[in-house]
A = this chain, B = another copy of it.
Amino acid sequence: MPQRGRPRGFDAEAALERAVEVFWRQGYEGASVSDLTAAMGINKPSLYAAYGGKEELFRKVVARYAEQDMGYARNAIAQPTAYQVVATLLRENVLAVTRPDRPAGCLSIQGGTACSDENAPVAGFLAASRLAGEHALAERFAGAVAEGDLPADADPVALARFVMIVTEGQAVHAAAGVSREDLQQAAEIALAGFAAASGARLPERAT
């Protein structure tokens, strides 16, 4: 029972990928259904049949983005020490928000921080997804405190919040056109600041 009826005439994954770029570049409200179908190479009824509507498409787009473009965050959180977690996260985030083959910034911010009352759920959904990453990072830091990798008096939740604030600021900055190199400098300052403020154990190196 694989497929009955006429088979779909386009690659749903490839079309979704095109939609990622449109929403990323123009935001949820700034991307019209016509913009989307033009970029995806399909007609409107196909979009509604395959994805359910604009908002449902957007949610699928965000899910795909999280999987395809946020992998570095999962990689970062798996690093062996808190310092390396933050170093990886901040450095990889700079690369991610300044990829030359992608729109500048980060979909979960470019998608829309503010919108009309009608679309408020979209902004809320994006905000919640950003905060979910922060919770994961806080738990990672809590583990680091338990291991002695971070000092006992370190506040894992506040530290995670600081790090996520930096990544969000980097994304906003990147969207404003700031270069990868310039953001890398700022990331190193943030990393040094994290190390000093948290008391994290540093990796072996010449001091």
Contacts and interface: CB of A to CB of B under 8 A. Distances in A.
B165 A185 contact: no
A200 to B, nearest CB: 11
A166 B186 CA distance: 10
A43 interface: no
Interface string A99-142: 00000010001111111110100000001101100000000000
Interface residues of A, number: 55
How many copies of this chain does the complex contain?
2
A195 B194 CA distance: 11
A175 B158 CA distance: 17
Contacts of A166: 165-166, 169, 190
Across the A-B interface, the 5 shortest Cβ-Cβ residue pairs: A193-B193, A196-B196, A165-B169, A169-B169, A127-B176
